[in-house]
Structure 1
C-alpha cells in the first residue's frame, strides 16, 4: 500500500515537473521568437534610416554636381547667380554650412556661409583631405566627398566637391556640410519615439540622441553608414518603455495555458494510476512468461544464425560455405552443370588492422562486403571465411564471364574509404577455380582456389588468377621454402652484409647500409627479394626484424668503439615492418642496449612505401621521427605526390634510385632526374645519397653537383662483418681497387 502511494506521488510529481518544464520551455520559445521579431524590427528601422541618410547625402551631391556644371558654362555670370541664390540653398539644405569656390591652388575665389557660421581663417586649403582627391581627379563628373579638415570648425564635418573648367585651370565648387546637424535633422524626422541613437566615427561618438545606455549592450543594433569614402557607425536601441510596448501578451497566455494543462495532466495521471494498478496484477504473469519465451526463441535463433554466419558482416561463414558447397557440388555433378568459386583476399589487410586498430578494421570489412555484394549477379553466393577473405560461388564456367565479374569485384574494392579521420585505400587479389577441375569435391576446389590466389598475389596488388595444375607445385615449393626459412632463423643461417656509404670529397666511410642475406647449408647465398615476401606473409617477419635490429646495433656500437669515430647505420624496412605495432619499442630497446645515439640510426624505405605511409599512416612516420632516428627515402624522380608527401612528412635523407644512376650521365632523361633530385634535396636542406655508383665518370658528375655521399660496387661492395672491419681499419680512397678488399 505504501509502495503504491509512493509510486502515485512520484508519478504526479513527474507530471507536475514535466508540465512546469514544458510550460517554461514553451514560454522561452515564444519569448525567443518575440526577441527575434524585435531584433528584426530594430534592424529594419536602422536599414531604413541608412537609406534615408544616403538619400539626403545624394541630394547634396546632386546639388554640388548641378551647380558645378552651371558654373562651367559661364563662370562669372554663374558666380553672381550663386551669390544671389546662396541664401536659398542654405534654407533648402539646412545642414549646409558653407559654399566655396576654390581655384586650382585651392584658394577661395568665392565664399558664402550660413547664418551664424564664422569666417574661415585660412586662405588656401591644399592640405585638406578633399584637396588630395581633387588634385588626382580634378574634372571627375561626379561629386567627391571627404572630411572637411580646416574647411570647417568641427573635425567630423564633411565636404562635397566637384571640379569644373572652361579655362586652362580647373576650379572646384565645395559644399561644407554640418554632419552633426544633418544627423540631428535625420534622426528627429525618421526615428520613432522611444528609440535611442548614437553615431560614431573611428570609435568616437559624434552624435548622440539618447538618455540612458541601460539596454544598449543587449539590444543595440549596429549598422555602418557609408557615403563615398566616408563611413560612420549607427547604434540604435530602445528605451525600457519602448521595449515593453513591443512585447505581446503571448508569453503570459502560454504560462496560463501551461498551468491549466499541468493541472489536467495531474488529474489524468491520478486516474491512470488507478487503472494501471488494476491491469498490472492481471498482466504481470502473462508478461513475464511471454518475455521468457521470446528471449528463449531469440537466443536459439541467434545461436543458429551464428553457427553458419559471420557476426560482423552477417554473411555466411566457413561452416555456411561448406554446407552450401556440399549441396551445390552434388547437384552440379549429377546435372553436369558448371560451378566456380572465387577466393577474394584484401591485400595487406593485417597491416591496416595493426596500424589503424580493430574497430576501423572491422568497419573496412563491413564496407567492402557491401561493395562486393552490390556487383554480384543474381543467384551468386558470398561468404566471409577468414579475417580478410571472402568466397563467391557462381554458376558459370566461362572464363571471360568470370574474369569480368572478378574485375568488377576488384574495382568495387579500389575506391578510397573515409573512416573517422582516415582516408584508406584497399585492393584485392582473386583466385578462381572450377568444380570440374576438383572432381566436385569441396576440399579440392577450395585448395585449388587458394593455389590460384597465391599465384595472383605473386603478381602484386590487384592480381586475378585462374587455377591450373602447375600452381599446386608452386604452393608446395612455397611451403618448402617457408620451412627452410624457419630452420634458417633457428640455425643462424641468416647473415648481415654491410655496404659503406662514402664521403666522396673526404674519401672516407661515414656510414653503412645493412643488407640481409640467407646462406643455405650448401653455401648458396640469397638476397632478400628471393624470400622477403614470404616472410611478410607469415609471422617470421617479426623474428627476422628483431634479428636485424639486434645484430646491426651491436655491430655499429663495436665499430664506433674500435674506430673512435661516429658512423651511421641504415636499415631498410618494408611496409609490413613499418606498420608493426612493436616497431618503435623494438628500435628503442636495441638502440639503448647498444648505447647508440638516435641520430646514428637511419630508417630507409622505398618511395612507394613512403607515399603510402604519408597518405594513410602519417602517425607511423611521426612516431619514428619522435624517436629521434633519421628517415631516408629511395626516390626515382620528383613527382607531385612526392612533393606533397615531403611537405607533410619531411624526411632527413633522399636516396637516388640505382636505375637512375646506372644510366647517368650518358642518358639525358635519367641525368635530368638525378639533377632534379639533387636540387630538391639542397633546396630543402636534406642529405642526398647516390646509390649503385659503378664508374669514375659518375663520381665526377656527382661531385660537380655537390652530391658528396654515394654507395656502389665501384666505391665499396656489400661486405660481411670481418671484411668491412678490415676495410675500416685501413686508409680509404675512392681510387682504391674494390676486388683487393674481397
Structure 2
C-alpha cells in the first residue's frame, strides 16, 4: 500500500513538473514571437516611411526637371512664367522654401520664397557644392541635389537644381534651384504616415534635425533605425513606440498561455490521480472519447466555416451579396417604420479586370483586401460594408438627417482610394466609380434597391475614373432605350441599313473635287441618323468591329469604282475613333480591303480628332507608325495650336491638317477664331502640311481662305454629303459655291 502511494506521488509530481515547465516554455515562446512580430511591424512602418520619403523627393526632382525643361528661352516671358510656375510649386509642394534662377556665374536673377520674412543669405553661390556639381555635370538633363549651405539658414536643408535648356550657348547657362525645407518635409511626412503612438527622430551626421517624440524610454530596446537617402544626402531615421502603444501591440496571449497552462496542469494532476485508480477500466473509454471529441471539433469547425462562407467573402471577410441582402431585409422595414431613408452606394474599382490580367490574381486579391481596409477606416458608424463582386464593394447606412451630405462621404472615399499601393514591388494606382440609390425610391425593397444602385453605377462608369451618379427614374428608361437601340443596330448591320454618304473636298481655286470624306449614316425608317447619336453605343459593345469593317470595306470599294471612272487622284477619307484605332485587327483589316479593292494605300486617308491624335502620339505611337508603314495618309482635325500639338506634329507628322467646324463657323467675323485659323495656316505652311477647311458655309469664308493660299475646303456651301450614286455625276463637274440641295435629300 505504501509503495503504491509513493508510486502515485511520483507520477503526480512528474506531471506537475512537466506541466509547469511546458507552461513557462510556451509562455516564453509566445512572448518571443510577439516581440518578433512587433519588431517586424515597426520595420514595415519604417520601410513605408522610407518609400514615401523617396517618392516625395522624386516628386521634387521631377518638378525641378519639368519646370527647368519648360521654361521659355525668351527673357521677356520667362519672368511671368517663373511667377506662375513658382506659385504652383509652392501650392503643391508645401516644403518648398525658395525658388531661384541663377545665371552662369551663380548669381540670382530670380528669387522667390514662400514667405516674405525669409531673406536670402547671399547673392552669389559659385562656391557652393551644388554649383560645383552643376558645372561638372553641365550636360546632365536630370536634377542634382546637395546640402543647402548659403541657400538657407538651416544647415540641414537641401537644394535641388537643374540646367535650363538655352539656345544662346554654354555661356548663357541658367540654373533653376529649389530650396527644400527638410524639417518641414519630414514633419509633413511623419504626421501623414505615422500611426498614433509612434515616436520618431531623424538625424544627420549624428545631429537631430527633426524629432516627433516625447520620451526615449522605449528607444534603446525597440527602436528601428533605417537610413534615408536621396542622391548624395543621407539621414538616419529612428522609430520606436510609446509605452502605451507597446502595451496595445502586446496581446493577452502570454497571460492566457500561463493561466491556461496552469489550469491544464491542475487538470492533468486530477486526471492523473483518477487514472491511477481507474487506469485499467477507463483506458479504452478515454481513447474513444478523445477520438469522438476530435471528430466533433472538426465537424463544428467545418460547419462554422461553411456558414461563414455562405454569407461572407473569403478574401476580405466582408459580407457577400447574401449577407448584404439579409442585412437589408432586416433593416429596411425598421427604416420605413421610423420614416428614415437608407443609402446604398456601390463602389466599383475601375479597370479591375485589366489589373487582374496584368499583375496576376494574387496581387489583385491583395489590392482588394487593402482597399477594403482603407474604406472601412473612413466609414461612419453603423455602416454595413459588403463585397458583392470581384471588383465591387457596397456600403449601406441609415440616413437619419435631412442634412445628410453624400458628397462628403464620396470625397472621403476618393481620398482613401486614390493613394498608390505598394504590393510585391508594384506601385498601383486605383480609382473607382460610385453608384448611389435610396431606399425610398425603391419602396424599401432590397433587390429593387440594389438594382437601382447598379443602374446608377452604370451611368457613373460612363463618366470615366471616379465617376459618381445617383439613381434617377429616367435611368431605367435610358437603359431600356439603350438595349432597344443596340438591338436595332444589330438588325441594321445585318439588313444593310448602315450606309455611307460622301462629301467632296474641293480645290476652291480650280473648283474640282480632290477628295471625298466617307460619312456613316443609319437609315432608321424615314430618318437618316448621324453617328454622334449611336457611335458611342456601338463602341461600348462588340458591334464596333463589324461597323469598322463595314466602313473600310465600302469606302475602299467605292474609291476603287471612282478611280476606274477616271478619278484616279481622288483621295478617300474615313473617320476613326480611339476605340477603333486601338483595335489590334485594324491594320490587317485595312490592308486586306485595300488589296481586295486593288486600291493603292495612298488613296485612303485616316482622319483623327485632336484629342485622339494626342493620345495616339503620346501613348499609342506604334498605331501611327503602322499606318505610315501601310502607306496610309493621316489627317488631324484641329481647333487651335498648342505646344502639345506642335510637339505631337513634330513626332508624328500628319499628311493633312483639317480646320475644325467650330473654328470655321466664326471666320472671318469673329476675331479670335480668325486668329486661330491664321495660326494653323502659318504653322502648316512652315511644316509643309496640306490644310483643308471644314464646314465652309459662306462665300466670305472661301474668300478668306483664298487670300491666305488655302485652297482645300469642304462644306455644304460647296456640296453637301450625298450617296455615292448621286455624287458620282458631280465629281466630273466644276463645284462652285452655292446652296443647292438635291431633291433626293
TM-score computed with the length of structure 1 as normaliser: 0.52
User: Where do 1:206-605 residues align within 5 Å?
Assistant: 322=325, 325-326=328-329, 329=332, 332=335, 338-345=341-348, 349=351, 353=354, 358-359=357-358, 374=374, 376-378=378-380, 380=383, 390-396=393-399, 401-410=405-414, 429-456=433-460, 463-521=467-525, 523-605=526-608
TM-superposed deviation, 1:645: 3.1
Partner of 1:702: 705
**C-alpha displacement at 1:474, in angstroms?**
2.5
Q: Distance in 1 between matches of 2:595 and 2:312?
A: 49
Aligned pair in 2 of structure 1 residues 598, 454: CA closer, same or farther (>3 Å)?
same
Partners in 2 of 1:450 and 1:469 — Cα distance?
13
* Structure 1 vs Structure 2 CA RMSD: 4.3
CA distance in 2, matches of 1:313, 1:624: 47
Alignment of 1:687 with 2:690, yes or no, is yes
Structure 1 residues 603, 656: CA separation in 2 closer, same or farther (over 3 Å shift)? Answer: same
Larger Rg: 1
Other-structure match for 2:653:
650
Deviation at 1:461, TM superposition (A): 6.6
Secondary structure (helix, strand or coil) at the match of 2:562 reads: helix
Say if 2:335 and 2:398, in contact at 8 Å, map to a contact too. no
Counterpart Cα distance in 1 of 2:587 and 2:718: 33
Q: Distance in 2 between matches of 1:558 and 1:709?
A: 23
Q: How far apart, CA to CA, are the structure 1 residues paired with 2:523 and 2:326?
A: 47
Residue 487 of structure 2 aligns to a residue whose secondary structure is helix
C-alpha separation in 2, matches of 1:630 and 1:298: 69
Contact 1:396 1:402 in 2 (8 A): no
Aligned length: 445
CA 688–337 in structure 1, closer or farther in 2 if over 3 Å, else same: same
Q: CA deviation at 1:547?
A: 1.6
TM-score normalized by the length of structure 2: 0.52
Alignment of 1:92-111 (within 5 A): none
DSSP 3-state at the match of 1:715: coil
Aligned pair partner of 1:618 in 621, 629, 638? 621
Separation of aligned partners in 2, 1:577 and 1:370: 35
Q: Which structure 2 residues correspond to residues 623-642 of structure 1 after superposition, within 5 A?
A: 623-642=626-645
1:731 to 727, 733, 741: 733
Residues 473/664 of structure 1: CA separation in 2 closer, same or farther (3 Å cut): same
Instruction: Tell me how far 1:666 sits from its aligned partner.
Output: 0.8
Q: Which of 665, 679, 682 is matched with 1:662 structurally?
A: 665
Q: Report how far residue 714 of structure 1 moved.
A: 0.8
Quote how far apart the aligned CAs of 1:328 are.
Answer: 5.3
The answer (yes or no) to whether the contact 2:367–2:423 under 8 Å persists in 1 is: no
CA distance in 1, matches of 2:564, 2:488: 36
- Check the 8 A contact 2:315/2:369 in 1, yes or no: no
How far apart are residue 498 of structure 1 and its match?
1.1
Distance 1:413 1:302, change over 3 A: same
Do the aligned partners of 1:424 and 1:616 also contact (CA within 8 Å) in 2? no
Alignment CA distance shift 1:626-1:344 (3 Å) = farther
Task: Check 1:658–1:735 CA distance in 2 against 1; reply closer, same or farther (3 A cut).
Answer: closer
1:713 equivalenced with 2:716 (yes/no)? yes
**Distance change (3 Å), C-alpha of 1:533 and 1:735:** closer
Residue number in structure 2 paired with 1:722: 725
Q: Is the 8 A contact 2:572 2:605 kept in 1?
A: yes
Equivalent residue for 2:147?
Answer: none
- Residues 549-608 of structure 1 show CA distances to partners (whole Å, capped at 9, x for unaligned) of 222221112221222413222221222222323322322222222222222222222222
Give the deviation of 1:677 after TM superposition.
Answer: 1.4
Secondary structure in structure 1 of the residue aligned to 2:726: helix
CA separation of 1:309 and 1:713: change in aligned 2, threshold 3 A = farther
Distance 1:437 1:694, change over 3 A: same
CA positional deviation for 1:493: 1.4
Runs of 5+ in structure 2 lacking a partner? Answer: 1-297
Q: Which secondary structure state, in structure 2, belongs to the residue aligned with residue 716 of structure 1?
A: coil
Bigger mean CA deviation after superposition, 372-381 or 682-691? 372-381
- The offset of 1:659, in angstroms, is 0.8
Q: Distance in 2 between matches of 1:496 and 1:708?
A: 26
Runs of at least 5 residues in structure 1 that lack an aligned partner in the other structure: 1-294
What's the offset of the Cα at 1:526?
A: 1.1
> Structure 1: how far apart are the matches of 2:310 and 2:591?
45
**Distance across 1 between alignment mates of 2:487 and 2:729:** 35
Residues 520, 696 of structure 1: alpha-carbon distance in 2 compared, 3 angstrom cutoff: same
CA distance in 1 between counterparts of 2:307 and 2:730 reads 70
Residue 188 of structure 2 aligns with which residue?
none
SS class of match (2:499)? strand
1:339 partner SS: strand
CA contact (8 A) 1:502 1:710 kept: yes
For residues 371-398 of structure 1, give each alpha carbon's deviation from its aligned partner in whole angstroms, at most 9, with x where no partner exists: 6863542555555656765544344466
Partner residue of 1:674 out of 668, 677, 680:
677
Secondary structure of the residue that 2:565 maps to in structure 1? Answer: helix
1:425-482 deviations in whole A, cap 9, x for unaligned? Answer: 9865432101232233232112212333344466677543322323222322222222
SS at match of 2:741: helix
Q: Is the 8 A contact 1:368 1:413 kept in 2?
A: no
CA distance in 2, matches of 1:422, 1:605: 35
